[in-house]
Amino acid sequence: MMKDLIIGSNSFSGQDFVDILLENPEREVIGISRSREKENFLLKYKSHRNASAFQFRQFDLNLNMTEFLEFLEFERPRRIINFAAQSEVGPSWDHPEHWFQTNCVALARLIKYLSSCDYLDRYLHISSPEVYGSCDQNIKEAAPMNPSTPYATSKAAADMLLANFMAHKTLPLLTVRATNVYGARQQLFKIMMRAAIYIRLGRRIPLHGGGKAIKSYIHIRDVSRGELAVLENGNLGEIYHLSPDRGASIRTIVELISNRMGEAIEDVVEDVEDRLGQDAIYEINSSKSRKELGWQPEVDLETGINEVVDWIDKHWSKIRALPHEYLHRT
Query: Against a cut of 0.75, is the pTM above it?
Result: yes
pLDDT score for 14: 98
Q: Provide the 3-class DSSP secondary structure of residue 16.
A: helix
Percentage of the residues of the chain whose pLDDT score is greater than 70: 98
Region 265-277 average pLDDT: 88
pLDDT score for 277: 65
Dihedral (C-alpha) 82, 85, 87, 93: value to the nearest 10 degrees? -150
| pLDDT for residue 284 is more than 80 | yes
Q: Are 284 and 129 in contact (CB under 8 A)?
A: yes
pLDDT score for 141: 97
Q: Which residue has the higher pLDDT, 9 or 214?
A: 9
When the pLDDT of each residue in the chain is averaged and rounded to a whole number, the result is: 94
Region 233-241 average pLDDT: 98
Give the residues across from 281 on adjacent strands: 214
| pLDDT for residue 249 is more than 70 | yes
Q: Are 192 and 215 in contact (CB under 8 A)?
A: no
Q: Are 97 and 62 in contact (CB under 8 A)?
A: no
Buried b (16+ CB within 10 A) or exposed e, 189-199: ebbbbbbbbbb
Burial class for 9, CB neighbours closer than 10 Å (0-12, 13-18, 19+): buried
pLDDT score for 134: 80
Q: Which domains does the chain have, with CATH numbers?
A: 2-181+218-242 (3.40.50.720), 183-215+246-282+299-321 (3.90.25.10)
pLDDT score for 308: 98
